[in-house]
Amino acid sequence: MRTDLDFELLGQTVQNLYGFKQGEMMSAIVHVGEQLGLFAALAETGPATSAELAEHTGLHERWVREWLHAVAAADLAFHDDGRFAITPEAHAALVDADHPAAMLGVFGPPITHREIDRTLEAFRTGIGMTWNEHGEHTCHFQAAMGAAGQKAWLVPVILDSFDGLTQRLADGATVVDIGCGAGVAATEIARAFPGSTVIGIDPSDHAIAAAAGRAADAGIENLTFREGTFDDLPGVGPIDVLLTLDVLHDLPHPGAAIRAARGALADDGVWIVADIKTRGGLEDNRKIPVLPLMYSMSILYCMSSAMSEPDGAGLGTLGLTEEVLADLADAAGFGSCEPRTFDVDPLNRYFELRP
Ligand SMILES: C[S@@+](CC[C@H](N)C(=O)[O-])C[C@H]1O[C@@H](n2cnc3c(N)ncnc32)[C@H](O)[C@@H]1O
C-alpha cells in the first residue's frame, strides 16, 4: 500500500471531504426548506423573486433569499435574473409525495449531538443504540427512505411475484409485519387487501405511535399496530404471511428471531424477508453506488442496533448475506430460503422462506 503523498490525490481527497461536509450542511438546508414549506411554496408560485416567495410564505425575505441561493447552487432550483423556480426533478423528489422518487422526510432532522456522544460511548463499551433510543424523529426519516418505493411497488410488483400470494391475501390471511417501523408497508398491504388482518409489530414506541397515526389517517380498519419483538410472534401465530423488511441485520440475536418466526408461521405459511443486497466483504460491496452512506448508516443506526445488547451479532447494514440467512434459516428448521431480486428495488434482496 502506497505511503508517499500524491498532491493530485490530496486535492481530490480534500474535495471529497468537503463534499461530505457540504452534504451535512445541505441536508440541514433541505430539511429547513421542507419544515418551512419552502419547496412546496416555490412549486405553487412558479418563478418567483425572494420577495415574492417571502410574501407567499410569510417568512423574512433576507433568510428566504439566502435559502434560494443555497438550493439554486445545489441545482435544486433554476435561477434567472433574480427569479427562482424549482426544477422538475426536485419537485418529484421533494414536493410530490406520491412520486416513486419522493424523498420527503429523508433529510432530517440531522443527527444530534446526543446521538454522536452516544456513538462515541458505544465505540468504548461495545453497546450500541436501539432504533428507538435515537428519538422520535428517527422512525420518520427511516420510513421516508423506503416509503416511496414501498407505496409504488411492494404490493403490485414484489408481493405479486410470489406464487399464489396475491390470491391468498385477497382471500383473507393473517399477515404480520414484524419490525414494521412507522408502518408504511403494513398500511399498503392492509389497504390493498381488506379481507386480510394485518398486524404491525415493532419494539419502538415512537415507530408504533407514528404507524398508528398513519393507519388512523388512512381510516383502515383491518390494520393494528402493537409494541413487541420477534419474541412476541408465538402469541400472534399461526401466521399465514410474515414480512420482515430491512430488520434482520439490525437484530442483536438474529438466530433467535428466525427461530421465533419459524415457530409462529403456519405450516403452509410464507415469510418474505427483504434485506440490503450486500455482497459480503468491503471490496465486493464497492459496486454499491452509495457505499459510504451504507457503512456510515450502519455505524450510526444498523450495526449500532445489532450491538445494542451484550453479545450482539452486530451484522449491520451490509452483514446479512445470502449465505448467512440461508444458514440461520436452515438451523431454525425452514425447508427453503429462496433469494430473488427486483429491478424496481436495486438496494434490497428478497427471500421467500417456507417451513
Ligand atoms: C430499518 S428499520 C425497518 C422498518 C420497516 N420495516 C421499514 O421497512 O421501513 C428496522 C426496525 O426494526 C425494529 N426492530 C429492532 N429490533 C427488533 C426486534 N427485536 N424485533 C422486531 N423489530 C425490531 C426497529 O425498531 C426498527 O423499526
- Find the 229 Cα to ligand 1 centroid distance in Å: 9
Decide whether any atom of ligand 1 lies within 6 Å of the 353 Cβ: no
Decide whether any atom of ligand 1 lies within 6 Å of the 245 Cβ: yes
pLDDT value at 73 more than 90:
yes
Instruction: Give tens-digit pLDDT for 9-32.
Output: 999 999 999 999 999 999 999 999
Return the ligand 1 atom nearest residue 143 CA.
Answer: 9
At residue 105, what are phi and psi to the nearest 5 degrees? 90, -10
d(CA 104, CA 38): 13
pLDDT of residue 237: 78
Superfamily for 113-354? Answer: Vaccinia Virus protein VP39 (3.40.50.150)
pLDDT of residue 289: 86
Top pLDDT among 302 and 237 is at 302
Query: Rounded to 5 degrees, what angle do the CA atoms 18, 24, 26 make?
Result: 95
CA 347 to chain centre: 11
Task: Give the N- to C-terminal CA distance of the chain in Å, as an integer.
Answer: 48
Percentage of residues in the chain having pLDDT higher than 90: 98
d(CA 303, CA 313): 9
Torsion of CA 95, 96, 97, 103, to 10 degrees: -60
Sheet with 223-227, strands from edge to edge, namely 223-227, 197-202, 174-178, 239-245, 265-276, 345-354, 336-342
The correct CATH number of 7-94 out of 1.20.1600.10, 3.20.20.140, 1.10.8.60, 1.10.10.10 is 1.10.10.10
- Find the 219 Cα to ligand 1 centroid distance in Å: 24
Decide whether any atom of ligand 1 lies within 6 Å of the 204 Cβ: yes
pLDDT value at 109 more than 90:
no
Decide whether any atom of ligand 1 lies within 6 Å of the 180 Cβ: yes
Decide whether any atom of ligand 1 lies within 6 Å of the 215 Cβ: no
Instruction: Give tens-digit pLDDT for 141-199.
Output: 999 999 999 999 999 999 999 999 999 999 999 999 999 999 999 999 999 999 999 99
Decide whether any atom of ligand 1 lies within 6 Å of the 230 Cβ: yes
Decide whether any atom of ligand 1 lies within 6 Å of the 181 Cβ: yes
Banded model confidence at residue 38, pLDDT cuts 50, 70, 90:
very high
- Find the 244 Cα to ligand 1 centroid distance in Å: 8
pLDDT of residue 5: 97
- For atom 11 of ligand 1, the residue with the nearest CA is 179
Q: Which three cell numbers stand for residue 294?
A: 451504507
Decide whether any atom of ligand 1 lies within 6 Å of the 187 Cβ: no
- Find the 273 Cα to ligand 1 centroid distance in Å: 12
